[in-house]
Amino acid sequence: MSRMETNGIAVDYDSFGDSHDEAILLVSGLGAQRIRWTDAFCTALATHGFRVIRFDNRDTGLSTHLSDHPVPDFAALAAAAAAGKRLEVPYTLHDMAADAIGLLDALSIDKVHVVGRSMGGMIAQLMASTYPERVLSLTSIMSSTGNPALPQAAPDVMALLMKPAPRPADDEAGFLAHSVAFAKRIAGSAHPFDEDAHRGIVREEVRRAHDPAGFARQIAAIAATGDLRVRNATIRAPTLVIHGEDDALIPPACGEDTAASIEGAHLKRVAGMGHDLPASLHADVIDAIVRLARRGRVDDKAEDFA
């Protein structure tokens, strides 16, 4: 692992594959550390002849945490939004996209294939619209445009997401049970949920850094960034949108909206996939990313994953 200073923060990253190969940048989701892009996924992707780079977003993992900023007051943010006022937040997804571009600058990488999941998909969309000369292709997985008219998460899912978890230092078993319950709820129906693997990665995240306040600041960043559709209309990079039909956190309509907002984007609806990326789907997702990166398009005959 390594750290680079960029955009006023330190970004922790690592990479897989030959540093001389064309690069794929993996962008993580809300509160998720880079290790959610598992070693197995990154290694398999790199075997196709790419340098695969993953990194911790600001306020997660071993990258800079903006601890001098308080936890956002969500009631105040909601009131400001209802009044049409600008939301006062420490940063937005625009800043997080600039972090990613800054990392590429520090690594002397001119152009990249960008792949983002969930919130990371929104950051990837902003990278493609704001820095078009840097993005060779865009893959947005289980993400959204921020269109306020889109359906929201199922009520019980939102309740689980916002429910305070026990502090792992005080009650590790309770913390892990909380995390497992949420992960199971948003997992898909067609692929087995690996509870042991999930517990292992969550324990590793706690060991690296546990920061509920950073999670809250990222939620505020999403809220303050708003609707990406106007920006997405300017994207010309070959684009693939992957979305699970069982996604209860970011409903399938959000993936449909993302694809509709980007000219020429190809939508892959995945039956039985939820808001997760189980090992049983790795090969299919990697194949789609690689085909897009190599050909600049996705074969029409491969409309859906098996």
Read off the pLDDT of each residue in 267-279 and give the average, rounded to a whole number.
96
State the burial class of residue 196 (Cβ atoms within 10 Å of its Cβ: 0-12, 13-18, 19+): exposed
Sorting pLDDT into bands at 50, 70 and 90, what band is 285?
A: very high
Q: How confident is the model at residue 305 (pLDDT cuts 50, 70, 90)?
A: very low
Distance, CA of 218 to CA of 102 (rounded, Å): 19
**For residue 78, what pLDDT is reported?**
75
The answer to whether residue 297 scores a pLDDT higher than 50 is: no
Mean pLDDT within 245-263: 98
Residue 161 lies in a domain: no
Judge whether 287 lies within some domain: yes
Summarize the confidence of residues 1-11 as an average pLDDT: 91
The Cα–Cα gap between 150 and 271 comes to 20
Query: Edge to edge, what strands does the sheet with 266-270 contain?
Result: 2-6, 9-16, 50-55, 22-27, 112-117, 135-141, 239-244, 266-270
Asked if residue 130 belongs to a domain, the reply is yes
Is residue 289 domain-resident?
yes
Q: Answer whether 16's CB lies under 8 Å from 52's CB.
A: yes
pLDDT of residue 292: 96
Return the percentage of the chain with pLDDT > 90, whole number.
Answer: 87
Whether 301 maps to a domain, the answer reads no
Range of the domain at 130: 2-152+212-295
Amino acid at 152: Q
Strand 9-16 with 50-55, pairing:
antiparallel
Could you tell me the CATH number of the domain that includes residue 54? 3.40.50.1820
Instruction: Render pLDDT for 97-144 as a digit per residue (tens, 0 to 9).
Output: 999 999 999 999 999 999 999 999 999 999 999 999 999 999 999 999
Average pLDDT over residues 252-273: 97
Give the model's confidence band at 296: pLDDT under 50 very low, under 70 low, under 90 confident, else very high.
low
Higher pLDDT, 54 or 79: 54
For residues 278 and 192, the answer to whether their CB atoms sit within 8 Å is yes
Quick check: is 12 in a domain?
yes
In a domain, 235, yes or no: yes
Placement of tokens 């398009």 in the chain = 297
Query: How confident is the model at residue 303, as a pLDDT?
Result: 42
Tell the residue number behind the tokens 């294939």, with chain if given.
Answer: 113
Spatial contact of 215 and 31, defined as CB atoms under 8 Å apart: yes
Task: Give the total number of structural domains in the chain.
Answer: 1
User: Is residue 109, in this structure, part of any structural domain at all?
Assistant: yes
Q: What is the DSSP string of 257-296?
A: HHHHHSTT-EEEEETT--SS--HHHHHHHHHHHHHHHHHS
pLDDT score of 71 more than 90: no
Instruction: Give dist(CA 154, CA 135) in Å, integer.
Output: 33
> What's the pLDDT at 1?
62
